[in-house]
Structure 1
Amino acid sequence: MQKRNDELSTVRGRAVRLDAFGGPEALKILEIPAPQAGPGQVRVRVTAAGLNPMDWIMTADANTAARFGLSLPAGFGTDYAGRVDQVGDGVTGFAPGDRVFGGALSRAVADFVVVDATGGIAANEAHHTPNGVDDRTAATLTIAGRTASAALAVVELGPDDTVLIGGAAGGVGVFAVQLARLVGARVLGTGSATSADFLRALGAEPVAYGDGLADRVRALAPRGITAAFDLHGTETVHAAKALGVPDTRITTIAAQIDGITPANGANAAPGALEKIAHLVATRQLRVPIAASFTLEQIHTAVELQAGRHVKGKVVIDL
């Protein structure tokens, strides 16, 4: 094993880096020495990295980056999937060649990442990829899946609920809609006119966002809604309040509102990510891949993701 690790220590790989915080134009592709797995760590040869809005939000400016503990030079992206290719001292449960997925905060869009083998933190972890889950799909699960699971837990969603999900066609929305349906809830999902068929295929009843949202929801659900997730901003929160939903049954992911408990994927219940991966493997949950790009197309991919009109997930193939 030591000889194998020594051979791998000379490997170089590509990585997306930022020398200054900013938009997609700040992203650079560099060839650098591959990071080395230390004690308790594994190195992963990344095959796919899933993008999330938080990736570009937290690297857009220095103040936001500091809140996430990022400093320059910085990497980019958090969700990854691939194979273990190096293990550090004391690691059990992982071996070279194992398929894995997880999170590596602001460093996942790279040929290699190093994470803690026993890490339970979304920003620094590895999980075995179940059979039946391809790498592209596995690379989309960590942030969005955990966040959606946390949203259901905040409002304690159940089979007697009718839930309004704002931004239902987005990266978190596709998980939230399906998880809500799996617990038996009726789902109304906001989106554009062009996303209506997409939302129906996920199991949601589409409703157009914009002025008059509360009236349109009232027409669809004359008996009222009982819970709401706002996965985009605050419009869904205001509509839910107007329809009499109590603050305790409303959650957000992109806005802080007094009295509303936000859903944070980092606080998802233990085992939530493994449960979602199992649902994907058993075809009870599907992850629509809106688009995939090569590493050299990173600027185009991030611009698409930042537009916030993607139906499903965006993935970088490495």
Structure 2
Amino acid sequence: MQRCGPFLPGAVTEFAVGDEVIGYVRTEQVQHGTYAEFVAAPVHTLGRKPASLDWEQSAGLPLVGLTALQALVAVGAGAGETVLVHAAAGGVGSLAVQIAVARGARVIGTASERNHDFLRSLGAEPVTYGEGLAERVRQLAPEGIDAAVDCVGGDAVAVSQELLKDSSRVASIVDQQVSAKGGHHVFTQPVSADLEELATLADAGKLTVHVDRVLPLVEAAEAFRLSQTKRVRGKIVLDVG
């Protein structure tokens, strides 16, 4: 995310020089990645920065927010439904909880016990993951669940389909075999309209980004190490300033 710089005359009408924007900026083929202070960004990868979020929160929003939103759209999660979110305290999961709640859904979220109060603060009903998860969810939703979002992999899809009224309404961002099992694999796409929806939710007070910690760019390797522990609450942000 950054302030917009120079454009070719007439090439971009969506933004003006100096606009504050966020983006999920990548090529159409995901092969290489980098961190940079300046980057040329296709306009469809950008959206306006939410006025209500600071730069650190805004930096953490695009990828996880788009992933969460597109997963919920894939399973058609809506008002009055019960949605199960696996790894609900993580970056994608915590956004999925908030977006589903904003859409009027009841959300059950899996997390370690130390994150249960955090999930309650987001509007979810927490359950501990691990052996016996299906039984714990059934205690909260005896009639089953309407949709599920898997952010952790493992047996999450199988458990979700055991609980779902319609076994096709599960989306996974981890399990690439989920489509063969009748569900939906979500590969996040940069979509300006989706970024605008996220910004609108944030500015309406319905969505925020929990930043677990901010590290300088020289500690990017440490950020990856921490992320791989799967004990991060929300997002890790790199500061390139």
Provide the rounded CA distance (Å) in 2 between the counterparts of 1:261 and 1:234. Answer: 15
Q: How many residues align?
A: 231
Instruction: Report the residue type matching 1:100 in the other structure.
Output: V
Greater RCO (Cα-Cα under 8 Å, separation 6 or more): 2
User: For residues 65-80 of structure 1, what are the structure 2 equivalents within 5 Å?
Assistant: none
TM-score, length basis structure 1:
0.68
CA contact (8 A) 1:250 1:260 kept: yes
1:114 to 2:34 alignment:
no
Q: 2:197 aligns with which of 271, 275, 279?
A: 275
SS at match of 1:266: coil
SS at match of 1:139: helix
Instruction: Report the residue type matching 2:216 in the other structure.
Output: T
Provide the rounded CA distance (Å) in 2 between the counterparts of 1:131 and 1:146. Answer: 18
Tell me the CA shift for residue 134 of structure 1: 2.0
Per the alignment, residue 186 of structure 2 pairs with 263
More helix by share: 2
SS at match of 2:5: strand
Instruction: Report the residue type matching 2:23 in the other structure.
Output: G
Tell me the CA shift for residue 183 of structure 1: 1.4
Change (3 A) 1:227 1:127: closer
Tell me the CA shift for residue 263 of structure 1: 2.4
Tell me the CA shift for residue 310 of structure 1: 0.9
1:97 to 2:18 alignment:
yes
SS at match of 2:70: helix
Identity %: 39
SS at match of 2:21: strand
Task: Give deviations 1:46-83, integer Å, cap 9, x for gaps.
Answer: xxxxxxxxxxxxxxxxxxxxxxxxxxxxxxxxxxx112
Provide the rounded CA distance (Å) in 2 between the counterparts of 1:178 and 1:216. Answer: 22
Tell me the CA shift for residue 285 of structure 1: 0.8
Tell me the CA shift for residue 95 of structure 1: 3.9
Per the alignment, residue 165 of structure 1 pairs with 85
Instruction: Report the residue type matching 1:115 in the other structure.
Output: A
Q: 2:229 aligns with which of 307, 311, 316?
A: 307
SS at match of 1:168: coil
User: For residues 209-228 of structure 1, what are the structure 2 equivalents within 5 Å?
Assistant: 209-228=129-148
CA contact (8 A) 2:4 2:19 kept: yes
CA contact (8 A) 2:116 2:126 kept: yes
CA contact (8 A) 2:53 2:208 kept: no
Instruction: Report the residue type matching 2:212 in the other structure.
Output: A
SS at match of 2:226: helix
Change (3 A) 1:91 1:254: same
Instruction: Report the residue type matching 1:237 in the other structure.
Output: V
Instruction: Report the residue type matching 1:154 in the other structure.
Output: A
Provide the rounded CA distance (Å) in 2 between the counterparts of 1:142 and 1:296. Answer: 22
Per the alignment, residue 197 of structure 1 pairs with 117
Q: Which runs of 5+ in 1 are unaligned?
A: 1-80
Change (3 A) 1:115 1:206: same
Per the alignment, residue 180 of structure 1 pairs with 100
Q: Which structure has the greater CA radius of gyration?
A: 1
Tell me the CA shift for residue 130 of structure 1: 3.7
Task: Give deviations 1:191-244, integer Å, cap 9, x for gaps.
Answer: 111111111111111111111111111112223222211111042221122224
CA contact (8 A) 1:149 1:265 kept: no
CA contact (8 A) 2:81 2:145 kept: yes
Tell me the CA shift for residue 246 of structure 1: 2.3
1:232 to 2:152 alignment:
yes
Tell me the CA shift for residue 166 of structure 1: 0.5
CA contact (8 A) 1:150 1:267 kept: no
TM-score, length basis structure 2:
0.88
Q: Which runs of 5+ in 2 are unaligned?
A: 27-31
Provide the rounded CA distance (Å) in 1 between the counterparts of 2:164 and 2:20. Answer: 47
1:152 to 2:72 alignment:
yes
